[in-house]
Amino acid sequence: MSLANQTQALLAKMGVSDAYLNGDYAVHSPIDGSELAKVALHSTDDAHTAIAQSKAAFITWRTIPAPKRGELVRILGEVLREHKDDLGALVSIEAGKITAEGLGEVQEMIDICDFAVGLSRQLYGLTIASERPSHHMRETWHPLGVVGVISAFNFPVAVWSWNAALAWVCGNSVVWKPSEKTPLTAIACQALFEKAATKFTQSTGITVPQGLSALLLGKADVGNALVESHDVALVSATGSTRMGRLVAPKVAERFGKCLLELGGNNAMIVTPSADLELAVRAILFSAVGTAGQRCTTLRRLFVHDSIKDVVLERVKKSYASVSIGNPMQGNLVGPLIDKDGFDAMQIAISRAVAEGGVLTGGERVLADTHPDAYYVKPAIIEMPSQTDAVKTETFAPILYVMSYSDFDEVIALQNDVPQGLSSCIFSDSVKEAEYFLSASGSDCGIANVNIGTSGAEIGGAFGGEKETGGGRESGSDAWKNYMRRQTNTVNYSSELPLAQGIVFD
Ligand code: NAD
């Protein structure tokens, strides 16, 4: 069956209405470049209508008790379990992920639903000691409003669920503008949400307000409508630092809230005491998984002088054993998303070589069988130092390898890039590992010991510093981004004492 036919069958199975599929915007699969479907894109006027409807939905939804809101998300998790294979396959077809990673992405959605359900009974505030007699203070968390989600192509469904599951239990409505490269998986998610909403209403008798989940298909102009709207309380934007640089000032100008999850340039340090077997396996998964198209992909490898040759030899050997090809046929490395991704990779390689890099791999493969798809051999480039090319995120499988001799120096190098997403150290020395995690160690939002840079669990807060944008999504207390904080002081006395002992009479 052609990919287009498989796509039609999967969409139908997930209950997607034909209304979305009657446009003229062609969606292509990175697997072979073939056309999967044509969808209708929204206009900025459509965006304004959706935002208005979402605002009305918020007014109703915020009054539903949080544990009841959690019940909707619990049912969504059930629907996702039912359709895990379908949605996972569609992620593979549309984003080019290998089967295990397509399924893994849907599992992540299920996990965040579970997390959010628990959270719906734990939106805790504080009680605070008042300095005044017969007064008490507390901190309360209230729903925020319309949450606009802008997402990237490489996690076409999980990023929406990280935001939406938390936003809904927190009492908000959600308008989602997915990547224009992956509208089909987004349409499928919306259909699964609608399924869950119907089941929720049947079992609880509570009507899900229309517009609680809205989908806007389009490019930057449609995303920009969310960014500029005073009715969008929070803009959660995932994508390149270039995009974040455009979005953040506009949201700030109207005093909206922004949650930014932008580019990374993630590093691993391998010290002399490291378990090299573990390190090499972690390098392979972190650097070539998802064809190097994860925000947390390993891009910089620092190996101690004394073990550099042996590590490099083993890494090259493991690279050579990796199968590249159709991601749905058991290969470990699938395609780049498109020609632009391939061109960017080649430009970065040329630049690094001009800066003294020694290249292994990086060339296009399978061009004869798939002239319209872009498969590459993951590249390893031995660099003489951390040059400008190394400091730039290129969204492709390029691993820059550098050696070091001094531990303090390598920590400084690891931090000496504009981005601050993920980092790790392989070391059996407690001193080195703990130093890496200390205030003087890694400056990233994610710092790991003896595991790679990618493949985060949903339980922790996810995000990074500096040009990665500073946002935190998913676990821990990331939910606080989706609520507004209120400080309350209650006087249950017959006096009116003022704070700081001020007398005003
Ligand atoms: P991109 O920046 O090209 O696009 C991301 C989204 O932003 C798309 O939906 C796009 O339409 C939208 N957009 C672009 N310009 C906009 C504008 N001016 N106003 C409003 N919306 C706009 O990114 P991409 O190529 O889809 O994804 C790859 C990038 O995303 C990499 O840099 C990667 O590191 C980053 N990423 C980061 C995370 C994270 O959690 N930190 C996760 C995934 C991807």
154, 336, 395, best to mutate for ligand 1 pocket (most atoms within 8 Å of CB): 154
> Which atom of ligand 1 is found nearest the CA of 469?
41
The domain made up of 3-262+469-487 has a fold known as: Aldehyde Dehydrogenase; Chain A, domain 1 (3.40.605)
DSSP state of 42: P
Q: What is the pLDDT of residue 11?
A: 97
How far, in Å, from the CA of 239 to the mean position of ligand 1? 2
User: Smallest Cα–Cα separation from 390: which of 411, 412, 413?
Assistant: 413
Q: Which helix (H) or strand (E) holds 229?
A: none
- CA nearest to 89, candidates 14, 150, 18, 149: 14
Q: Which position has the token pair 């080649």?
A: 346
Q: Which of the listed residues 240, 266, 343 should we mutate to test ligand 1's pocket, taking the one with most ligand atoms within 8 A of CB?
A: 240
Cα distance between residue 72 and residue 78, in whole Å: 10
The Cα–Cα gap between 340 and 189 comes to: 26
Using CA atoms, how far apart are residues 159 and 136, in angstroms rounded to an integer? Answer: 39
pTM above 0.95, yes or no: yes
243 Cα: distance to centroid of ligand 1 (angstroms): 6
CA 131/CA 437 separation, integer angstroms: 38
Measured from the Cα of 219, ligand 1's closest atom is 11
SS3 call for 254 = coil
Nearest to 297 by CA among 393, 361, 415, 413: 393
Instruction: Please give the Cα distance from 349 to 343 (Å, whole number).
Output: 10
Q: With bands split at pLDDT 50, 70 and 90, how would you rate the model's confidence at 162? A: very high
Task: Give the mean model confidence (pLDDT) for residues 215-233.
Answer: 98
Domain 266-449: which CATH class? Answer: alpha beta
Question: What distance in Å separates the CA atoms of residue 30 and residue 370, rounded to the nearest whole number?
Answer: 10
Residue nearest to atom 22 of ligand 1 (CA): 220
Protein residue whose Cα sits closest to atom 23 of ligand 1: 239
Q: Is 384 within 8 Å of 359 (Cβ atoms)?
A: no
Q: Which atom number of ligand 1 is nearest to the Cα of residue 226?
A: 20
Q: What is the pLDDT of residues 291-335, one digit of tens each?
A: 999 999 999 999 999 999 999 999 999 999 999 999 999 999 999
Strand spans (E) along 345-503? 358-360, 364-365, 375-376, 379-382, 398-404, 419-420, 422-426, 446-449, 461-462, 465-466, 473-474, 483-491
Q: Which of 94, 101, 261, 432 is catalytic?
A: 261
C-alpha 476 – ligand 1 centre gap (Å): 24
Q: What average pLDDT score do residues 147-155 get? A: 98
Q: Atom 39, ligand 1: which residue's CA is nearest? A: 261
Query: What is the DSSP-derived secondary structure letter of residue 289?
Result: G
* 105-124 pLDDT, tens digit each: 999 999 999 999 999 999 99
Structure tokens at 326: 């159709």
Count CB neighbours of 177 within 10 A. 29
Residue nearest to atom 36 of ligand 1 (CA): 239
Mutate to test the pocket of ligand 1, among 159, 238, 468, 481 (most ligand atoms within 8 A of CB): 238
What distance, in Å, lies between the first and last C-alpha atoms of the chain? 85
In eight-state DSSP terms, residue 336 is B
Q: Which of 197, 177, 196 is nearest to 187 (CA)?
A: 177
The yes-or-no verdict on residue 18 having pLDDT over 90 is no
Label residue 348 exposed, middle or buried (CB < 10 Å: 0-12, 13-18, 19+).
buried
Tell me what pLDDT residue 21 has.
87
Cβ < 6 A, ligand 1 pocket? 150-155, 177, 179-180, 219-220, 223-224, 227, 238-240, 243, 246-247, 261-264, 295, 393, 395, 421, 468
Q: CA-to-CA distance for 222 and 46, rounded, in angstroms?
A: 9
In the chain, the amino acid numbered 422 is: S
- Spans of all domains in the chain: 3-262+469-487, 266-449
pLDDT digits (tens, 9 = 90+) for 395-451: 999 999 999 999 999 999 999 999 999 999 999 999 999 999 999 999 999 999 999
Q: 255 in the Ramachandran plot: left (φ > 0), alpha (ψ -120 to 50) or beta?
A: left
Annotated catalytic, 228?
no
